[in-house]
Amino acid sequence: MPKARIIYASMTGNTEAIAEMVSDHLLILGVDVETSKMESASPMDFLDADICVVATYTYGYGDLPDEAQNFYNQLSDVDLSGKVFGVIGSGDTSYGDVFCKAVDDFIAQFQLTNAKQGTDGVKIEFGPDGNSLVAIMEFAQQLQSSL
């Protein structure tokens, strides 16, 4: 059974809810899933997974969450060859050009790990709703099928 590790940062719960939905869909697809909060995780935790997922909100003005900084910096030091990654996040479109910018930043950082990008980054306005459900399902589906 393939294994996914989902590591998320969430201050007010939106990204946590998104991470839970990604987990639910991967489980339906027959993937074993372990989910952790970023504060208590390390990029090394991805080493025993086939699918590596980061879920993050964006803070400040286009900034990474404070609790994501160390994790982000250490990510590029880990060799994730042979693994698939995906990044999903929550933000607020009123921030314009920096809507969910942390998603783009994490994709760039993952690209330094030798992991293969399994699907495009997904950016969700606040928490999951009817509109984002399809995007979340497709995110999980594409990660599973790109293994």
Residues that bind ligand FMN in the complex, under the rule CB under 6 A: 10-16, 57-62, 90-92, 95, 98-100, 126
Nearer to ligand FMN, 2 or 62 (CB): 62
**For residue 41, what are the contacts with CB-CB under 8 A and spacing of at least 6?**
7, 71
Are 143 and 26 within 8 A, CB to CB?
Answer: yes
**The pair of three-digit structure tokens given for residue 28, joined into one six-digit string:** 């339906």
Nearer to ligand FMN, 17 or 84 (CB): 17
Residue 69: CB minimum distance to ligand FMN, A: 15
Nearer to ligand FMN, 3 or 37 (CB): 37
Are 81 and 47 within 8 A, CB to CB?
Answer: no
Residue 50: CB minimum distance to ligand FMN, A: 25
Residue 54: CB minimum distance to ligand FMN, A: 13
CA dist 46 and 15 (Å) reads: 19
